[in-house]
């Protein structure tokens, strides 16, 4: 009987997953002639990969009603393209095992949200002196928005960094590799010095509603799961792109688009919770990173418009290059270092822009593995990639941690010198 129940549960989960037989994958190589039309399409269609490099590959998932319209537009523009069937998007790694909510948390696979949260609870129990759990808010479906604060207690005020993953539901590798990284930072004694000098806030899953939906109903889901009525759309909208919802240079984008940005900037509970935390702690916060997949890029702001950069852009590029080199030491992976709007496409209302706009010195986005060369479906990363991806991110973070700590030492030294001069 037990076997039967388990079997039924597994099969139900798989069969209720959305199938993609009626969708198509469109690939287009970037050229001087099609650059403009690609950027226009990127505002409307579901780009799995966007490349602004000449001859770079763009991969777009077309919904049934978009197929003919897009083909016509591209033909009119003289753009060559390839169209392929999608069929059922297969899971990599351990098949259906990781869709189950049964069993214990396993660091080497894609755990469901409840198991992720349980793992954070056990880490806070195990490493009491090094870590605290904080709940920053709640989602539309009443799931908690949780961050860990890694760092030893200190009498002096410490600089800090905030990082979040999983803001886009289908980008599973982000939260799993960040969970691996949290374990490593806590269990490996060689990171002790960082925890003495720095408070590291990490939120491994910032869109739990969307994530659970992508596990059980639609693997390709990107947004959150809030329902609302958009005046420009004729139907009730489900889901808002949380990386377009921040009230810095926010721009309305229809909810029927993959980048639907919500009725107004800052409308979403996830956005509000992050804004509240970042603004409250902005004096201490020196770094911010938003983890996405895929493409293998280190991204710096601004995202909202091309050719607009923060005043410390040279510094961001310099640290970015060092992070790039550090990543390559792990297993020769070559990340690009690009500005979000120039290298990809304008993304108004993004988290990295918002963090920068409130004065956080080092604000970045990361697009993790893969680079798009290993198969077309880049969100389904085999779970064997979780640990090496975590190692690569950690190598990059060491660079940023060291920089923030060094800046802080310099500032305190200057303050001390100034104080002694006044004496």
Instruction: Give catalytic residues, as residue numbers.
Output: 367
Instruction: Give the Cα separation of 175 and 330 in Å (integer).
Output: 20
Q: Which is nearer to Zn ion, 160 or 351 (CB)?
A: 351
Instruction: Give the Cα separation of 237 and 220 in Å (integer).
Output: 17
48 in contact with Zn ion (CB under 5 A): no
Q: Which is nearer to Zn ion, 160 or 174 (CB)?
A: 174
Closest CA to 194 of 156, 161, 151, 159: 151
Judged by CB under 5 A, which stretch of 105-113, 115-123, 134-142, 288-296 contacts Zn ion?
288-296
Q: Which is nearer to Zn ion, 162 or 194 (CB)?
A: 162
Q: Which is nearer to Zn ion, 127 or 345 (CB)?
A: 345
The residues in 131-190 that bind Zn ion, with binding defined as CB under 5 A, are 168
> Could you say which of 49, 286, 292, 361 contacts Zn ion (CB under 5 A)?
292
What's the min distance (Å) between Cβ of 259 and Zn ion?
Answer: 11
Judged by CB under 5 A, which stretch of 79-87, 286-294, 382-390, 411-419 contacts Zn ion?
286-294
Q: Which is nearer to Zn ion, 168 or 223 (CB)?
A: 168
Judged by CB under 5 A, which stretch of 51-59, 194-202, 284-292, 332-340 contacts Zn ion?
284-292
Positions in the binding site for Zn ion (CB under 5 A) = 168, 292
């Amino acid at each position: 009987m037990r076997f039967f129940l388990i079997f039924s549960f597994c099969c139900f989960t798989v069969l209720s997953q959305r199938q993609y037989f009626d969708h198509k994958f469109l690939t287009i190589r970037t050229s001087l002639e099609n650059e403009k039309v690609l950027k226009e399409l990127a505002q409307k269609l579901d780009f799995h990969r966007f490349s602004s490099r000449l001859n770079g590959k763009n991969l777009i998932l077309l919904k049934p009603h978009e197929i003919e319209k897009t083909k016509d537009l591209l033909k009119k523009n003289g753009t060559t393209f390839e169209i392929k069937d999608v069929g059922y998007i297969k899971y990599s790694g351990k098949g259906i095992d990781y869709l189950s909510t049964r069993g214990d948390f396993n660091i080497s696979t894609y755990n469901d949200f409840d198991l992720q949260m349980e793992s954070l609870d056990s880490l806070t129990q195990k490493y009491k002196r090094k870590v605290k759990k904080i709940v920053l808010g709640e989602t539309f479906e009443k799931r908690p928005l949780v961050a860990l604060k890694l760092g030893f207690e200190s009498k002096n005020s410490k600089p800090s960094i905030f990082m979040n993953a999983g803001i886009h539901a289908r980008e599973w590798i982000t939260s799993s590799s960040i969970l691996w990284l949290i374990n490593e930072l806590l269990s490996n004694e060689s990171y002790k010095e960082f925890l003495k000098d720095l408070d590291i806030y990490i939120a491994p899953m910032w869109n739990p509603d969307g994530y659970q939906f992508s596990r059980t109903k639609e693997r390709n889901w990107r947004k959150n799961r809030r329902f609302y009525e958009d005046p420009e759309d004729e139907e009730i909208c489900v889901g808002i792109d949380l990386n377009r919802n921040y009230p810095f240079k926010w721009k309305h984008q229809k909810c029927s688009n993959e980048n639907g940005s919500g009725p107004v900037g800052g409308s979403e509970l996830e956005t509000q919770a992050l804004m509240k935390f970042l603004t409250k702690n902005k004096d201490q916060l020196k770094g911010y990173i938003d983890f996405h997949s895929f493409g293998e890029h280190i991204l710096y702001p601004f995202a909202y418009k091309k050719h607009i950069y923060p005043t410390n852009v040279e510094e961001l590029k310099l640290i970015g290059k060092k992070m790039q080199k550090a990543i390559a030491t792990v297993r020769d992976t070559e990340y690009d270092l690009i500005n979000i709007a120039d290298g990809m496409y304008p993304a108004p209302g993004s988290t990295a822009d918002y963090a920068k706009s409130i004065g956080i010195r080092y604000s970045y986005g990361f697009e993790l593995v893969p680079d798009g060369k290993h198969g077309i479906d880049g969100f389904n990363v085999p779970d064997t990639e979780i640990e090496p991806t975590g190692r690569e991110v950690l190598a990059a973070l060491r660079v940023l941690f060291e920089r923030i700590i060094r800046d802080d030492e310099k500032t305190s030294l200057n303050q001390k010198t100034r104080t002694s001069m006044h004496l």
